[in-house]
Structure 1
Amino acid sequence: LALEGGVRPYIRRTADGRLLVSVAEPARRGNQPVGIVLLTREAREVDQRLFEIRASVLGLFVLALALTVLLSFYLAQTLARPLMQLAGSAAAMRQGEGRTGSVPAPLLARQDEIGILARDLQSAARALWARIDTNERFAADVAHELRNPLTSVRSAIETLRRIENPEQQKRLLAIIAEDAVRMDRLIADISDSSRVDAELSRTVAVPVDVAPILSALAELHNTTRKDGDPVMVLEAPAEGLVVRGVEGRLVQVFRNLLGNAVSFSPKDGHVWIRARPTGSLVEVVVEDEGPGIPEAKLESIFERFYSERPQGERFGQHSGLGLSITRQIVEGLHGQISAENRRDAAGKVTGARFVVRLPAA
């Protein structure tokens, strides 16, 4: 091969472990090869370089391993451990512990994604406990409200067994019938109240024009009202009253407010319905000429089972859930409802005013 054109340099190791580099080239006279020139040299430097390269690779491997261990420890301290703490907090909440909040304070103070997750978990836990407390209070209120008519029915039945006077029996049967109607109304309102939040969370709000709703309710009342009932007066533009909501529930809101205003109005009085667009909201106001609302009760009238009825009205005609359901619906549609008193120039109360504000479509 060397005579034909030479041999490229090659490396070999001897039996005693030495590293040799050899190269062979032909010697020519004219165009005729006359011999071979072979050069062999011990390659200590090459061996040293190979050792240095291997040492460098090993050093880089050790450094990478150390960095991996440190990074794993850092991630364990900053991510894995906090996540395990949050998982423990969630488990404690699931088991009924941590009502006051079991998320560690250091996690709540963090400004990174872990802190956001911790604060969201804390907020969710508080909302859950608030809902549980609300349900417990609601159950207690329901039991209390049902106990009264049931007690009345039981007392009437026990008395009915002992008396023989037909007139007294007739009065007791009338009491039983009224209490049965009252319980039926109460159960229907309780069922409706318990469904409102779930229904609104599943229903997609759509544009609804409240002008024809208000017009229809006012016209229906005025055409069917009895002597002495108040007259409804509607003051609303024909356009610009479109809100985002659920039509059936909006009808329920305005029917409740108008029914409440009618029940408190004096004989031959007036109920005013005023509606107008206000920026990004649509405002609907219902006013009456009744006795007004005690200042201390302007907020509590929206609580469940609150009932303060006009003088002369028979007990048990209302469940006390009407305004509570009304607020549930309005707030479920991302609106606001408030109550205040109407006053004349002298500051005297001349009636009640309910204000509903809903997002415009």
Structure 2
Amino acid sequence: MIIGVPKEVKVQEERVAVTPHGVREFVRHGHQVLVEQGAGVGSGFPDREYVAAGATIVPTAADVWAQAEMIMKVKEPIPAEYPYLRPGLVLFTYLHLAADEALTRTLLDRQVTAIAYETVQLADGSLPLLAPMSEVAGRLAVQVAAYYLMRPHGGRGVLLGGVAGVSAANVVILGGGIVGTNAAQMALGLGANVTLLDINVDRLRFLEQILHGRFHTLMSNQQHIADAVEQADVVISGVLIPGARAPRLVTREMVASMRRGSVIVDVSIDQGGSIETSRPTTHADPVYEEYGVVHYCVTNMPGSVPRTSTFALSNVTLSYGLKLADLGVVEAVRRDPALARGVNTYQGKVTHPSVASAFGLPYTPLETLLAPSPEQVSAS
């Protein structure tokens, strides 16, 4: 198979989907890898390292997209890349389609086989290709919050951990998943008062056991959220419903109740955001104020630490990419139910129920579109 690795074009997105080590593995399996010139520079991988690993450096994105059978990216295609989409192309990347109707309809119209990292899901419900970026985003959220709490950056002028005789900041975290857990660890490490809310009492019990210090848990409901947000210096939201739009948990009225100079970091913004006043921002213009509250809503937070993020991402995506290349999409998803759950569009149909529900589109189970295997044919 010919695998294409284009340079990311989202604003200040410096990650790359495949490292030189990954290229070496694809080549060892007998595949050809096309890398757009300069694609890895932002993550610290010059073109010569890709060449040494066996890749072919291609001068333009158009050439990569036109020649590749499977495109591996980090972020979803933006409108400037839509013309590259074509029938039969396999696109393996983060997609977050439930928050992007235009891209969803384009993938359907162009009959692209779109496999989303964030909906590859194991039998236990875990999301192996989303987990590392959730770790990065959760940890970054606290660094970002501490920065914007400083008065020169629009904040209240509060030190996250306080000092002797002075109260630490109150950090409220929505969601006890990977984002929330990593955010809590970082905030506690800096000495903040941390309150974490989740709807799963078993998860709250677990976090109570492993996290210590100024740590408190609350069952997530509207009243508890409203009370916690009102007292917060920082609100970090990391709630997630796999493949679906993020639920709106913090209302405009709740935001208005916060103290001026408080900070909101909506990590779930790439799935539409869970705070009513949130809107997507970029690394070039990351914050804005509503009701005097600083909002940080960058949709690709891990892109600010591209070298760390690229290694963390490629550690988990490579094995799935090899499976797709070695077996082809049909056989790969037959053998791996987790990978099958990652297929969002196939042959012009929506094959993920949450994406279909988000836009009122028909949902077609993937298995009904796959040709029967030789074993199934002979058995019949």
| TM-score interval (norm. to shorter) | under 0.3
Q: What is the TM-score normalised by the length of structure 2? A: 0.23
Higher normalized strand content (fraction of residues)? 1
Q: What is the TM-score normalised by the length of structure 1? A: 0.24
Higher normalized helix content (fraction of residues)? 1
- Structure scoring higher RCO (CA < 8 A, sep ≥ 6) equals 2
